[in-house]
Amino acid sequence: MLAIISLAIFAALPRVSGHAALWHPSMFGFNVTQQTFPYDNRPVVPIKNMNFTEWWFHNHLAYPPNAGDIFELPAGKPATAEIACNKGATSFFASSEGGDIRNASNPNDVCPGSPTTEYHTNGVNDLEGCSLAIAYKNDSAAVQPEDFTVFSVNQTCVFNRFTDFQVPARMPACPPGGCICAFFWIHAPDSGGEENYMNGFKCNVTGSTSNVPVAQSTVARRCGADPVNKKFVGSAANCTYGAKTPFYWFNNERNNMFEGTFSPPVYNNLYNFLDGAQNDIFNDSYVSIPEPGIAAALPTLAHITAPSSPASAPAAPTPTAASNTTIFITAASSPTASSDGTTVASSIPSSASSGTSTSPTASSAAAVVTAPFGADGYAYKRDMSNAHVLANRASSAKFRLNQESRRRRAVVRRRSWFW
Ligand SMILES: [Cu+2]
């Protein structure tokens, strides 16, 4: 009874709800309020256990931006987005039901007046990253999940209202009318239940100097160090390189990730989503990308001489993990920095989530070179092979149990703020 009463009081308390969204007039659902749908479908509300039309673009495709509202992506430069738990906490507060709730003493406050757990983090060391993806289509209705390619990652996310997304320098121009983009986020497993976040928006690449298309994206593998799950060394050969699809997880339809409740797919080194611009997503970025696997050959980067020149295909050295010519793609690396036929290895830090926006450094990368990838990687069992997918599906009943118990714990935790 007490639980029911306290829940009722909790529900009646005026409060700024948590979660988070990317806010911009170019977004689908910019003016959707709690009353627009029969259920609360504000852009900040998490997505989970939904059918495709409900989760895709947050079911906001019928709420497009006004003509001319577009989010600009300057090639080779950062695009600054505003991420907040309420529109009133952004520069666009004027059209928010609750008006301006920005924190005057901290303009970067994602959720003024609320603890960080409201946007699913226990602090700056508990961040898993978020991403922007792009589809080179100007018709939002024509965009399919496989059309999106992640072009920018911010691993220090969600933590600052003003969040920079570095745009790759070689992004080609969009079709007339612009492209369709989306913000994707899956938060840390230790601060709230399993949830996806997706906000679609209209975008356009400016200052483009390359016309090489973005490659068809593929699903990213879990390949980095994962100390929480007692995997202390990453397996670079098991990583997905090049254009990668966003994560579609924990819905009823069209998922591309089947990770368990406590191992959400995340936008950081764990899935080879390095911090910053994703500079290797173009058709000519690689001479070859072998099928990933714990004993696979590493891919070979192409030598890009000029932004618009076709890729030359130099004779590739035998790619080996121990190769002295191994180089590392970091957020700051430009495609021109690579030499002919260089073997690529992802620098995988020992911690899955560093909690800072610092790019992997040469020193952390050097550790990968000297330590054979296979030392622990051969025993790695989290690759998304069919067998593993099937096993995950078979244990879905267990997921639901976990999910239910986590939800209950979350309710207890939230109540404790008030009691
Ligand atoms: Cu949430």
**How far is residue 86's CA from residue 114's CA, in Å, rounded to a whole number?**
11
Which residues pair with residue 345 across a beta bridge? 328
| Cα separations in angstroms, 192 against 87, 301, 326, 398 | 21, 39, 39, 18
- H or E, element range at 344: strand 344-345
| Cα separations in angstroms, 216 against 91, 149, 222 | 35, 8, 19
**How many angstroms separate the alpha carbon of residue 18 from the centre of ligand 1?**
6
**How far is residue 224's CA from residue 177's CA, in Å, rounded to a whole number?**
38
**How many angstroms separate the alpha carbon of residue 64 from the centre of ligand 1?**
23
CB atoms within 10 A of CB 317: 14
| ∠ Cα 68 69 72 (to 5°) | 105
CB atoms within 10 A of CB 39: 9
Smallest CA-to-CA distance from 159 within 194, 134, 124 is with: 124
**How many angstroms separate the alpha carbon of residue 41 from the centre of ligand 1?**
13
| Cα separations in angstroms, 406 against 192, 249, 255, 411, 416 | 8, 17, 21, 9, 15
What are the tens digits of pLDDT across the range 211-252? 999 999 999 999 999 998 999 999 999 999 999 999 999 999
**How far is residue 387's CA from residue 384's CA, in Å, rounded to a whole number?**
8
**How many angstroms separate the alpha carbon of residue 160 from the centre of ligand 1?**
16
**How many angstroms separate the alpha carbon of residue 266 from the centre of ligand 1?**
15
**How many angstroms separate the alpha carbon of residue 379 from the centre of ligand 1?**
34
Which residues pair with residue 276 across a beta bridge? 153
DSSP string, 58-107: GG-TTSPPPTT--EEEETTSEEEEEEESSGGGSTTGGGSTT-----TT-T
- Cβ atoms of 354 and 371 within 8 Å: the answer is no
**How many angstroms separate the alpha carbon of residue 38 from the centre of ligand 1?**
19
List, edge to edge, every strand of the sheet that includes 162-166.
21-23, 78-84, 162-166
**How many angstroms separate the alpha carbon of residue 195 from the centre of ligand 1?**
7
Token output for 299:
């891919």
Amino acid at 258: F
Quote the pLDDT of residue 304: 72
Structural domain boundaries in the chain? 17-278
**How many angstroms separate the alpha carbon of residue 191 from the centre of ligand 1?**
9
Which residues pair with residue 214 across a beta bridge? 282
**How far is residue 238's CA from residue 225's CA, in Å, rounded to a whole number?**
12
| Cα separations in angstroms, 269 against 59, 93, 151, 265 | 30, 34, 15, 11
**How many angstroms separate the alpha carbon of residue 115 from the centre of ligand 1?**
12
**How many angstroms separate the alpha carbon of residue 121 from the centre of ligand 1?**
10
Quote the pLDDT of residue 103: 97
**How many angstroms separate the alpha carbon of residue 333 from the centre of ligand 1?**
34
**How many angstroms separate the alpha carbon of residue 385 from the centre of ligand 1?**
30
**How many angstroms separate the alpha carbon of residue 402 from the centre of ligand 1?**
17
**How many angstroms separate the alpha carbon of residue 272 from the centre of ligand 1?**
25
Smallest CA-to-CA distance from 129 within 154, 151, 104, 97 is with: 154
Residues by chain with Cβ below 5 Å of ion ligand 1: 19, 46
What are the tens digits of pLDDT across the range 75-107? 999 999 999 999 999 999 999 999 999 999 999
Which residues pair with residue 47 across a beta bridge? 196
Q: 17-278 adopts what CATH topology?
A: Coagulation Factor XIII; Chain A, domain 1 (2.70.50)
Smallest CA-to-CA distance from 262 within 327, 211, 186, 206 is with: 186
**How many angstroms separate the alpha carbon of residue 46 from the centre of ligand 1?**
6
**How many angstroms separate the alpha carbon of residue 222 from the centre of ligand 1?**
23
**How many angstroms separate the alpha carbon of residue 347 from the centre of ligand 1?**
31
**How many angstroms separate the alpha carbon of residue 403 from the centre of ligand 1?**
14
Q: What is the largest CA-CA distance in the chain?
A: 73
For residue 190, give the 3-state DSSP assignment.
Answer: coil
Which residues pair with residue 210 across a beta bridge? 172
**How many angstroms separate the alpha carbon of residue 17 from the centre of ligand 1?**
9
Q: Which residues of the chain have pLDDT under 50?
A: 1-15, 306-343, 345-419
**How many angstroms separate the alpha carbon of residue 351 from the centre of ligand 1?**
24
Output the pTM of the full model. Answer: 0.74
Contacts of 135 (CB under 8 A, 6+ apart): 143, 147, 148, 149, 179, 180, 181
**How many angstroms separate the alpha carbon of residue 196 from the centre of ligand 1?**
9
**How many angstroms separate the alpha carbon of residue 119 from the centre of ligand 1?**
6
**How far is residue 406's CA from residue 404's CA, in Å, rounded to a whole number?**
5
Pairing, β 344-345 against β 327-328: parallel
